[in-house]
């Protein structure tokens, strides 16, 4: 694949990502699905030897993840499973692709409740492994994800430690997102939670970065315009995905 092919691949990814971003702002499910499917066709058309291939894989997986959230039962399960495959292929293409590792774990967390009881424990264990990969790429990046995982496993002491770590890294989602997070519902009623949220409220807020670049420093100049989930930005500029 020559320079021209890579430029074409990046252009396809950029255009498809705009459709994904537009879809996420809509409430009409039919229109959302239409845009997501159009975007996925574009990602699929990117050649494997293009420098944009890894971004196409990630965003393809992200689109499947978003589409799965619109479905139920076996249909949702199938889409989550397809999303995990795309994230895994992305990490094969680039082993330190932070967003792929995080969203792979998120997809597994959302997939687990749809599985038979005997399969859930192993799926949550796989999610932990993916969050660990992300944390090895950038320390502390998956702290909130670990907190959710500990909450699901009813290890509330470990959940508290991870929440405090996420707070200290300034990697927590907004308060309303924490309070509405299904994984956190049992934690919200615990005696220490109110004090924890008060400690979060006492921290000065940072200005949100509007332009969203790649989570991978190697790709920041590639203008991949990756279509991330809800994001906060640390002082070092690394984008953290917390959408659950």
Half-sphere exposure of 175 (CA within 13 A, CB side): 11
Low-confidence ranges of the chain (pLDDT < 50): 208-244
Number of domains in the chain: 2
Q: Which residues of 210-234 are buried (b: 16+ CB within 10 A; e: fewer)?
A: eeebbbbeebeebebbbbbbebbbe
240: β partners: 232
76 and 182 in a single domain? The answer is no
96 and 155 in a single domain? The answer is no
The pLDDT of residue 204: 84
> By three-state DSSP, how is residue 30 classified?
helix
150 and 178 in a single domain? The answer is yes
Residue-range definition of the domain harbouring residue 74: 3-138+215-232
Residue 71 lies in a domain: yes
**Beta carbons of 169 and 234 less than 8 angstroms apart:** yes
- Give, to the nearest 10 degrees, the angle between helix 98-111 and helix 53-68: 20
The pLDDT of residue 58: 98
Q: Which H/E stretch holds residue 18? A: helix 3-24
**Integer angstrom CA distances of residue 196 from 33, 161, 192, 200:** 38, 11, 6, 6
99 and 19 in a single domain? The answer is yes
The pTM score is: 0.83
18 and 66 in a single domain? The answer is yes
Nearest to 133 by CA among 150, 145, 123: 145
Residue 108 lies in a domain: yes
CA distance 171 to 231: 9
Residue 210 lies in a domain: no
91 and 164 in a single domain? The answer is no
Residue 225 lies in a domain: yes
Instruction: Summarize pLDDT for 51-71 with one digit per residue, the tens.
Output: 999 999 999 999 999 999 999
22 and 61 in a single domain? The answer is yes
């Amino acid at each position: 694949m020559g320079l021209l092919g890579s430029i074409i691949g990046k252009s396809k990814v950029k255009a498809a990502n705009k459709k994904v971003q537009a879809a996420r702002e809509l409430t009409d499910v039919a229109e959302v699905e239409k845009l997501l499917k159009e975007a996925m066709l574009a990602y699929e058309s990117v050649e494997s030897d293009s420098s944009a291939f890894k971004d196409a894989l990630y965003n393809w997986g992200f689109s499947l993840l978003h589409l799965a959230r619109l479905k139920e039962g076996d249909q949702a399960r199938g889409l989550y499973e397809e999303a995990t495959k795309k994230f895994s292929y992305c990490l094969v293409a680039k082993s330190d692709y932070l967003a792929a590792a995080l969203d792979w774990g998120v997809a597994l967390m959302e997939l687990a409740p749809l599985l038979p009881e005997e399969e859930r424990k192993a799926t949550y264990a796989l999610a932990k492994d993916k969050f660990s990969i992300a944390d090895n790429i950038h320390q502390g990046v998956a702290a909130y994800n670990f907190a959710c995982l500990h909450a699901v496993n009813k290890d509330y002491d470990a959940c508290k430690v991870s929440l405090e770590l996420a707070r200290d890294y300034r990697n927590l989602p907004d308060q309303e997102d924490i309070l509405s997070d299904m994984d956190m519902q049992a934690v919200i009623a615990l005696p220490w939670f109110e004090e924890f949220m008060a400690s979060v409220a006492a921290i000065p807020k940072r200005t949100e970065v509007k332009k969203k670049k790649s989570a991978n420093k190697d790709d920041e100049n590639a203008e991949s315009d990756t279509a991330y989930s809800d994001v906060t930005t640390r002082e070092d500029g690394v984008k953290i995905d917390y959408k659950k």
